[in-house]
Amino acid sequence: MAYPDEGVVKGWRLDWLKCDGSVTEDLYIAERAVDWERDACCEWVKNNFEPESAEHLRLFRLPKPPSLKEQALEALKHAEEGWRPVPDDCALIRRALEALPD
């Protein structure tokens, strides 16, 4: 298995310093490493199989954002656990309900 060289990781660290601080350095590096590993796998598949297979793999391995329903259920779960819903949670639940057919 190939690993990103130290220069690549050093570049990620420098990029992290330019961020708004919403994620820790470790999480930022881990997310970049996942992207790097996915790209390396896709490149290997592209070079050893049909190029279309690499694109299918890339799409399959991209993280899928949670659906509106999943996000609303998570907000409700927090409310059931005793958290006071914040306005963003209420707006999220409202959007999910409005998306339902009458």
pLDDT in tens, 18-31: 987 778 999 999 99
pLDDT at 47: 92
Number of neighbouring beta carbons within 10 Å of residue 86? 12
Q: pTM, whole model, 2 decimals?
A: 0.55
Residues comprising the chain, all counted = 102
Both 76 and 45 in one domain: the answer is no
What angle separates helix 51-61 from helix 25-48, to the nearest 10 degrees? 160
Both 12 and 50 in one domain: the answer is yes
- Number of compact structural domains in the chain: 2
Residue 73's domain comprises: 68-99
DSSP, collapsed to helix, strand or coil, labels residue 54 as: helix
pLDDT at 88: 85
d(CA 95, CA 74): 14
pLDDT (tens digit per residue) in 47-70: 999 888 888 888 888 777 788 888
* 84 occurs within a structural domain: yes
